[in-house]
A and B are shown apart, each in its own frame.
Chain A
Amino acid sequence: MGKDAIRDKVAIVGMGCCKFGENWDKAPEDMIVEAAFEAYEDAGIENPQEQIEAVFCGSVYPSKGTAEVADALKLFGRPVSMVQNYCATGTDAFRYGVFSIACGMYDTVMVVGFDKPKDRGVSGPNVQTAGVRGLPMTPAGWFALCAARYFETYGATREDLARIAVKNHHNGTLAPKSMLKKEITVEDVLKAPIISWPFGLYDCCAQSDGAAVAILTRRDLAKSFRDDYVLVRAVSIALAPNPQSDPTFDFLRWKPTVYAARQAYEQAGIANPFREIHVAQVHDCFTLTELLTYEDLGFCEKGAAKEHIASGTFTLEGELPVNTDGGLKSFGHPTGATGVRMIYENYKQLQGKAGPRQVKNATVALSHNIGGAPQACGMTILTMP
């Protein structure tokens, strides 16, 4: 593997993100335009028609596909492609953008992650009806399947999960574009209606609409856009067997994260993630997802997450702040946008522009998405030059 093929060769020079939430009064076009024009302004791009050479889109529920983006931004006469990779869709679109520059094909490209699930009239994903085995089940049910065995093996409880939700709700109140801005207590989490045991309502992330945009360029051109550009150190994607049928699955970890982390750490040359990463945005579609991710990413030993949760390791004041903008939990989860939204937060953190949620002296930031049953994981590691 050409593990040095992209390392620090591509810079993020502009980013934008629309307000996430139940955007009943906005079309996908509105959100894409809002995020893209913020990114243009951030990068100092005055003529996107000349400067944006290619567009990589990520969306899980697009109504029109790539035309949704090309039409909205009037970006014609150049490649516009769509990527779909479960909840890692946004990260994967970003990965294609990085590759296209690292290989020398383009100088400046744009990555657009967006989704508008709230236009479908349902809370949560549609029920699949193609095959009898696809039904009935919910993502909460898939992700909950690790809980019983993890709880019994390591003595974790719903209270441990609840503290993750409380943390992310708090962080969400500090992020201007987040969906939910309400502090909650552990008791609120425990008393909420059960969605899929052990997940109550507050253990589940907020499904929302949203769009986020990144503008990438060659490292040597980055200075012409801005001084405080951010470098892409690593991008990884990995698939793993469906945990529901994998004959070797132990229900204590998620293989996609383990695989994607191995790739990303190798690319970035990271040996001790807990010490070398300063801020992280991880996939907290459900509270247990974040808990397992602490361990799967090597932030702590397997089984040790609950001690770290109790001692505040992953809070804004802790040693390794996680989900500083509220995460999927309270910032919202428009599937295709999420990976790009996480990069947006890390970009702001590395630039020191994260306001009241700013992590001190952060120069290495990680983002992580996991999706499917779960089967797919995508990660990025960003640094300052």
Chain B
Amino acid sequence: MVGIRSFGAYIPMFRLPLGVVSGGSRKAAAAGGAGEKAVANFDEDAVTMAVAAGRDCLEGIDREKVDALVFASTTYPYKEKQGAAVVAKALDLRRDVRTADFGGSIRAGTTAFRFALDSVLAGTAENVLVVAADCRMAAPRSALERNFGDAAAALLVAREGVVAEVVDVHSHADEIIDVWRTDHDTFVRSWEERFVVQHGYRDNVVEAVQRILAKTKLGPKDFDRVVLYAPDARSHAGVARSLGFDSAAQVVDPLFGRVGNAGAAFAPLLLALALESALPGANILWVNYGDGADAFVLRVTDAIGGARGRRAVSWHLERRAELADYDKYLRFRHLQPSEFDPRGGVGVSATVHYRDRNEDISFHGHRCRRCGTLQFPFQRVCYTCYARDEFDEVRLSDLKGRVMSYTFDFFAGSPDPPLIVTTVETEGGCRIYLQMTDANPKEVRLDLPVEFTFRKIHEYGGTPNYFWKCTPVR
């Protein structure tokens, strides 16, 4: 049996009210209507969100057993340089993990999933982690901007311990100019909407669904859950109805007005949402679109109960904070000039990054073999017993911590001042000097319980530079 062994998700904490996108003034905000979209914090991007979803997915799973990691995104921060490699390093996967990026299309999430499936079917891998994340930008105040949201999802494809078996698959490719972004574009562009929906989305999805139904000899009524990508809420409802699905009973909420269209992460995110509450024996139809279409028939197994208890989508939907300040959002995305340019400066030395990557990216500390003292960053000589080079590397990202002390730094230069600076003590007594993120200064106090999250610390030198931050346990 081959299928999904585990799933995870990540939705950034900030939600931008759609009314704010439409105008900014109170009147225009009212005209924008209800609803919101998920937006990445200034220190988040597709990579950090992929790491968060991957950690959620690997909760309770031995990371040494992951043979390959595939990363799907149309917004990986580098044009040249692999995304999966940094995600794998942050997830602290094996050195000989196989990695690949899937991009170029919002179908990349399911394309990567098929690659994972084929690897496991072929027997060249036991466990393949698929992470999908997108942080797409549309022109400020455009219709697409209201539509897009930022999110990530992760699916672990395996042969053992499967919670949802892949029963059958259909894929086809299609060449169409509907939605695109060139190397020179900051924002996603689109052809005329009705053409895009009719000849891009609708034609391809209908074809894919019809083909997989024919292959599996199943009818629309045989599915307990239908997980359907759609560019927008209206197209979603229209296609679901025309294919004969009961929106209320079968179709998984596409989260428009809550998360928004999360690009390559969208279909995997909705599948994670479906799996959260799926019952053993349930049939799931999962359909994705983008330069063609992918359709999957999944059957939920008795093991599904074991995959519950992770954060997945619902936890993240609950954890929200409003970002009702459009100017701040524009600063987060570098769309508004400011005195503080986080992309200026000399940047991180590549050689320092090379030496420090186990600490900075995998977030390893040192545990002294002689006296047991846990310390960060790496030491050659132990703080406590002065032993030389007698350390084991310990992954700190899984540990919980508490705030030993803190300050609010208004002078450090941040798109969202003040910078909350802390020294955190982890379980086991390791002290780490960290910034806090996704937090309000009002909630910061001594001994506040925190956990760790992988973030972009700055972009000096024109490269995204990643490190870990702490965030209040919620």
Contact = CB atoms under 8 A, between A and B. Distances in A.
B421 interface: yes
B433 A136 contact: no
Contacts of A300: none
B421 A131 contact: no
B407 A133 contact: no
A195 B348 contact: no
Contacts of B377: 133, 245
B345 A149 contact: no
A138 B411 contact: yes
A334 B414 CA distance: 27
Given A138-B412, A194-B408, A131 B375 contact: no
A149 B407 CA distance: 11
A149 B446 contact: yes
Interface in A110-169: 124, 127, 129-133, 135-138, 140-141, 144-149, 152
Given A241-B383, A247-B429, A132 B407 contact: no
A146 B409 CA distance: 14
A305 to B, nearest CB: 18
Contacts of A243: 423
Given A138-B411, A140-B411, A152 B446 contact: yes
B353 interface: yes
Interface string B382-425: 01100000000000000000001111111111100011010100
B413 to A, nearest CB: 6
Contact of A148 (B360, B419, B446): B446
Contacts of B374: 247
B457 A132 contact: yes
A247 B412 contact: no
A132 B421 contact: no
B352 A137 contact: no
Given A131-B349, A132-B465, A196 B411 contact: yes
A146 B405 contact: yes
Contact of B413 (A133, A136, A147): A136
B460 interface: yes
Contacts of A241: 383
Q: How large is the interface on A (under 10, 10 to 19, 20 to 34, 35 or more residues)?
A: 35 or more
A157 to B, nearest CB: 15
- Which residue among A130, A131, A146, A241 has the maximum number of chain B CB atoms within 10 Å of its CB? A131
Nearest to A250: B404
A127 B411 contact: no
Given A136-B414, A148-B446, A249 B408 contact: no
Contacts of A274: none
A243 B433 CA distance: 9
A132 B353 CA distance: 7
B122 interface: no
Contact of B457 (A135, A140, A145): A135
A132 B466 contact: yes
A79 interface: no
A141 B409 contact: yes
Contact of B407 (A127, A148, A193): A148
Interface in B445-471: 446, 457-458, 460-461, 465-467
B466 A195 contact: no
Contacts of B430: 247
Interface residues of B, number: 46
B224 interface: no
A114 to B, nearest CB: 25
A251 interface: yes
Contact of B409 (A131, A140, A147): A140
B346 interface: yes
Q: Taking chain B's interface residues, is the majority helix, strand, or loop, or is none over half, making it mixed?
A: mixed
A246 interface: yes
Most buried by A among B346, B348, B467: B348
B90 to A, nearest CB: 13
A351 B348 CA distance: 51
Given A129-B345, A129-B461, A132-B465, A244 B407 contact: no
B432 A247 contact: no
A190 B4 CA distance: 58
B419 A133 contact: no
A76 interface: no
Nearest to A204: B411
A196 B410 contact: yes
A248 B431 CA distance: 9
B16 to A, nearest CB: 25
Contact of A244 (B383, B414, B433, B441): B433
A141 B139 CA distance: 37
B431 A193 contact: no
B376 interface: yes
Contacts of B345: 127, 129
B347 interface: yes
Contacts of B347: 129
Contacts of B373: 247
A249 B375 CA distance: 13
A303 B224 CA distance: 66
Given A132-B348, A132-B467, A195 B431 contact: no
B383 A247 contact: yes
A246 B376 CA distance: 9
A249 B431 contact: yes
Given A129-B460, A145-B423, A251-B423, 19 more contacts: A127-B460, A129-B349, A130-B349, A131-B352, A132-B348, A136-B414, A136-B419, A141-B421, A148-B407, A149-B404, A195-B410, A196-B407, A196-B408, A196-B409, A197-B409, A197-B418, A241-B383, A247-B375, A251-B404
21 contacts: A129-B345, A131-B356, A132-B458, A133-B360, A133-B377, A136-B457, A137-B412, A140-B409, A144-B409, A145-B423, A148-B407, A149-B446, A194-B410, A197-B407, A197-B408, A197-B441, A241-B383, A244-B433, A245-B433, A248-B383, A249-B423
Interface of A: 124, 127, 129-133, 135-138, 140-141, 144-149, 152, 193-198, 241, 243-249, 251
